[in-house]
Structure 1
C-alpha cells in the first residue's frame, strides 16, 4: 500500500473507531512498521487532522461530543507510587482524566493526552509505565501537575475533587 493510500485508510480506521487504536495495531493492519505509522500520524496532524496520541493509542477527535460534558482543571500533588490511586479515585466517580499538564522551566507548559475513563485503562496505563520503565511527567515538577477532567455532570466532578481533597492529592489555595 502506497503512503497516501495508507494514510487515507488510517484516517478511515480512526474516524470509525470510538476507542483509541495503538500504533502497533495500525502497523499490523497496514503491514508496515510502527515507525511508519508514527510518521504517517505526524503527516496527518500536519494537515490539521484532529488526531491525538493518548496513552492507549491514536484517537480521532470528533466534534460530536455530548454538549452536556463538563470540564474542570485541577492541580494535584502526589508521589509516583500514588499515581494509580489518584487516577482510580478520579475514574471511580465516572470522570474522564483527559490529560496531564506540567510546567517545564525550558519548554513551558507540556501537555500529554491521557483519556482514561475506567479502572482497566488506569491499570493498563500503570502497566505500560512499568513495562517501558518510563517516568511520569510529574517527575519534572516534584509531583505537582494539572489535569483536565470531564464528566457528564458537575456533581461527578465535585465528587472526584472532594475525594482527591480527602486523600491529600489536591493542591488548593
Structure 2
C-alpha cells in the first residue's frame, strides 16, 4: 500500500470511528511502525485535518458519538484525589471532558486534549498521572483550570455544576 493511500484510509477511519484509535492500533492495522503513523498524522494535519492526539488515541473532533453542546467551566482543586473525583463527577453526569486548559500569566492559554468520557477513561488517565508522578497543568495556576465539556443533557449539566459546587471545585462557567 502506498503511503498516500494509507493516509486516505486513516482519514476515513478517523471520520467514521465512534471512539479514539491509538497509534498502536493503526500501526497493526496498516502493518507499519508507530513512527510511520506519527509521520502520517503530521502529514494529515498539514493537509488541514484537525486531528487531536488524546490520552486514548487519535480523533477528529465532532466525529465521536455523544456529540452535544460545548460548555467551558472554571474549576479549582488540589491534588490527585480531587482531580479524580472532579473528572468522575463530570463523566457520571454524562459529560465528555474534551480538554483541560489554564491561563498562565507568562505563557498565555495552555490547552491539552483529554477526551475523557467514562470512569474507565478517568481510571486509565489517573493511573498514568500517578505512575509518572505528573503534575497537572493546574499546578501552575494554584489549582485553577478550565475544562471544555461536551454535554448532551442540560438537566444533567446543571446537576453536575451543583455537585462540583458542593465539593468546592466549581468556580464559574466561562
TM range (shorter): 0.7 to 0.9
In the alignment, which residue of structure 2 is the partner of 1:147?
147
In the alignment, which residue of structure 2 is the partner of 1:57?
57
Change (3 A) 1:149 1:26: same
Say how many residue pairs are matched. 172
Distance 2:64 2:121 in 1: 23
Change (3 A) 1:115 1:64: closer
In the alignment, which residue of structure 1 is the partner of 2:101?
101
Is the Cα–Cα contact under 8 Å of residues 15 and 63 in structure 2 kept in the other structure? no
Is the Cα–Cα contact under 8 Å of residues 55 and 115 in structure 1 kept in the other structure? yes
Distance 1:42 1:28 in 2: 18
Shift of 1:50: 2.7
Distance 2:168 2:42 in 1: 39
Change (3 A) 1:64 1:56: closer
Structure 1, residues 90-114: CA drift from partner, whole Å, max 9, x if none?
Answer: 1111122111111234431111121
In the alignment, which residue of structure 2 is the partner of 1:88?
88
Change (3 A) 1:65 1:28: closer
Structure 1, residues 12-64: CA drift from partner, whole Å, max 9, x if none?
Answer: 22122110001121122222222222221121112111321222110123469
Is the Cα–Cα contact under 8 Å of residues 21 and 57 in structure 2 kept in the other structure? yes
Gaps of 5+ in 1: none
Distance 2:64 2:10 in 1: 20
Shift of 1:132: 4.2
Distance 1:172 1:47 in 2: 37
Name the stretch that deviates more: 132-141 or 90-99.
Answer: 132-141
Instruction: Give the aligned CA root-mean-square deviation in angstroms.
Output: 2.3
TM-score, structure 1 normalization: 0.87
Is the Cα–Cα contact under 8 Å of residues 73 and 149 in structure 1 kept in the other structure? yes
